[in-house]
Amino acid sequence: MNRVLIEDDKKAWILNHMTSSLRKIHIDDTMKTVKDISVDVLDMSLTDNNDVLLSSYGSTDVSLLSTKNGEIKSFLSMSPLYPLGIYVTKYNEVILGVKEKGDIHKITDKICRKVKIFGMDGKQKQSYEYDKHKQRLFTVPYRITSNLNNGILVVMTREGQVEWIYQENSHVNYILGDNLLILWT
């Protein structure tokens, strides 16, 4: 199990990378799988109406899974970039980590690793790639959240001003890329 989204007090979505499956479970006295979807998902997040936004391996699209009918459709194209981490804020904004095509572990001056913010209408509001000193902010923006339950690597304002970077280990962005936490101040 790689990720769990709680839909309500009786339903949850479970992502399992090993089986390339996304399961909707009903939680009662027992747990029962009510839907099993074969899909190769990287990350997912609930919208305010309990639909699920998905980033998938090898796809430049962000998909929307309707929890009412189980249909998956394209929500937002990031082409030529590939979405990684995805998070819907309490303000109903979509925060996406994106990368260029190619090896995720190959870090060069030519890579593109960004965090972008969109409205639910698909319009881009902001994009972050470099700080004010032209230093790259992200290497693998794989997990994004606005809660305090993950390791803090980058704290920045809504305007893109970096306020703090965790630097205990010079490889921390590479090793702990899935612990990325972006806090708005």
- Let me know whether 26 and 83 are in one domain: no
Number of domains in the chain: 2
For residue range 43-52, what is the model confidence (pLDDT) as tens digits?
999 999 989 9
pTM, 2 dp:
0.76
- Is 142 part of a structural domain of the chain? yes
Give the number of other Cβ atoms within 10 Å of residue 134's Cβ.
7
- Residue 67 maps to a domain: no
Q: Report pLDDT digits (tens) over 155-182.
A: 555 555 555 555 444 433 332 333 444 4
Give the domain extent around 19.
1-38
> Do 32 and 84 reside in the same domain of the chain?
no
Residues 90 and 176 in one domain: yes
Is 6 among the domain residues?
yes
Query: Is 137 contained in some domain?
Result: yes
Residues 2 and 89 in one domain: no
